[in-house]
Amino acid sequence: MRAGAEAEPREGQDQGPTANARSVERLEVTVNTPAGPVTAPVEVPTGFIPVTEIVPLLRRLGEQAQALVERTALATGQTISCRKGCAACCRMLIPLSAPEAYRLKDTISQMPEDRRKATLDRIAQAQHRLNAAAMLTRLSEIAESERQWSDAEMEPINRAYFALQMPCPFLVDETCSIYEDRPAACRELQVTSPAEWCRDPVTNPVRALPVPLRVSTVLGLLWSTLVGGPIRFIPLPLALAWSDRHADDGLRRWKGPDLLEKALDQVWRFLSQNRTED
Ligand code: SF4
């Protein structure tokens, strides 16, 4: 068994039909993160599945690890400032992994017609605004790049994007309209500094909680292993266009248990690299 991530069949529940008659394997996944161990029950189809089906599991593990960090912060007298209706961070450049980009496309395609149309209009407006600010071409190059962009390279781009103060296309009345399916990066940002500081994070020393399991990076590693190429950074407003351009890869399928094992391998890889860097 791996030191960082383990998957054990749950007693008496190792196989069985689901409501839609898919055969599934039921497991309990335990991951030892720097914040402590987290465990999640998992149902993985034994047949062939797209990479998007593994996204909720990793998000769940990431959220549980984040909850441990949050608990520690509260126990040491810190306050989490993030609240519903406070959406300063929804003007930041949100990076998506390829599996999350495909997942976002699925989310949009499942919306009722009027909501989908309004969402697509907001995405088009965001792209128009990025084009007017001479940022659209650069962001498209980053999404399609054959190399991974460094944090140092992304820093000025992140700043320029935030300076636009452009709301995320999924922000409606200062609330996330896809909250249950929002990207990992949105789930992982929690601050303990005053909320108003987030309106100007360049000037203010915003304090963010540590992220023990960076799920978009894990998903990026997984996708790179599955189809080759770098750990991809896809800016959120371009995710739908990117998914359409790479629709063939989005149709690929892997055996559920194999995909889960590959995903847990990347969790382990991320955690071991993180520990090494510590
Ligand atoms: S997806 Fe939701 S939480 Fe993330 S930036 Fe957009 S509105 Fe905010």
Ligand 1 pocket: which of 176, 190, 236 to mutate (most atoms <8 Å of CB)? 176
Residue nearest to atom 4 of ligand 1 (CA): 186
The residues near 89 (Cβ < 8 Å, ≥ 6 apart) are 186, 189, 198
CB-ligand 1 contact for 186 (6 Å cutoff): yes
Nearest ligand 1 atom to the CA of 169 is 6
CA separation, residue 211 to residues 145, 171, 217, 269 (Å): 26, 24, 11, 15
Nearest ligand 1 atom to the CA of 170 is 7
> With bands split at pLDDT 50, 70 and 90, how would you rate the model's confidence at 231?
very high
Residue 200 alpha carbon to ligand 1 centre in Å? 18
The residues near 79 (Cβ < 8 Å, ≥ 6 apart) are 192
The answer on pLDDT for 21 being more than 80 is no
The residues near 219 (Cβ < 8 Å, ≥ 6 apart) are 55, 58, 97, 98, 99, 100, 184, 266
- pTM of the full structure: 0.90
Residue 13 is predicted with a pLDDT of 38
CA separation for the pair 186, 90 (Å, rounded) = 8
CA separation for the pair 33, 30 (Å, rounded) = 9
Residue 168 alpha carbon to ligand 1 centre in Å? 6
Give the chain's domain count.
1
Interval 2-8 mean pLDDT: 48
CB-ligand 1 contact for 168 (6 Å cutoff): yes
Nearest ligand 1 atom to the CA of 171 is 7
Show the domain range for 155.
5-277
> With bands split at pLDDT 50, 70 and 90, how would you rate the model's confidence at 22?
confident
Residue 130 is predicted with a pLDDT of 98
Residue 171 alpha carbon to ligand 1 centre in Å? 6
